[in-house]
Amino acid sequence: MDQIARDSGTAFFDLLLASHTSLKKVAELADMSAEEVLCLFVLQEHHPENVKALSRHLGVRSSRMSKILFSLEERGFVIRSISIVDHRMEEVTLTPRGTDRMAKILAFGRSLAESHPFAGGHGLSAAAPPPAGKGHWTHSRSLSQDQEHH
């Protein structure tokens, strides 16, 4: 194997490891599992048409998807309902609370991306980081301190 291929492979896995570590950090600060964070992200950004499509998108089995959704629903982040088009299908939508949580997750993720060594000091995002303050995370503050009551 030539050195360039080896370096590329190493860089790829370094990036995967950094992504995994960052996802775990975001999930911990959000007081959620990494799967729950990814589920909210997919719902917001990719709008799967039903639970089956969501499960495929996340690469989890239906039994695991049910557990993830149950947890998110119990905490008021999603609502499940039967499809009016096909009564055999279950749909999932973000609640306003879920949308708010996802906005905070994305803001924190943006700040992590901009400060990450892979950004080369230039940032991975063209957008400026949001100002620290109410509604935004800092490294020393957990989102659970800012949870709404429902």
Is residue 86 in a domain? yes
Rounded to an integer, what distance in angstroms lies between the CA atom of residue 36 and that of residue 17? 19
Instruction: Note whether residue 137 is domain-resident.
Output: no
Residue range 31-52: mean pLDDT, rounded: 95
pLDDT for residue 135: 42
Q: Is residue 145 part of a domain?
A: no
The pLDDT assigned to 96 comes to: 98
What pTM, to 2 d.p., does this model score?
0.73
More confident residue, 16 or 65: 65
Q: How many domains does the chain have?
A: 1
- The dihedral of CA 135, 138, 140, 143: what is its sign? positive
pLDDT at 31 over 50: yes
pLDDT value of position 77 = 98
Asked whether residue 121 is domain-assigned, the answer is no
Is 77 part of any domain? yes
What secondary structure, in 3-state letters, does the chain show? Answer: CCHHHHHHHHHHHHHHHHHHHHHHHHHHHHCCCHHHHHHHHHHHHHCCCCHHHHHHHHCCCHHHHHHHHHHHHHCCCEEEEECCCCCCCEEEEECHHHHHHHHHHHHHHHHHHHHCHHHCCCCCCCCCCCCCCCCCCCCCCCHHHHCCCC
Residue 138 belongs to a domain: no
- The CATH number for 66's domain is 1.10.10.10
> Would the pLDDT of 120 be above 60?
no
Mean pLDDT of the chain: 81
Structural domain containing residue 45: 3-116
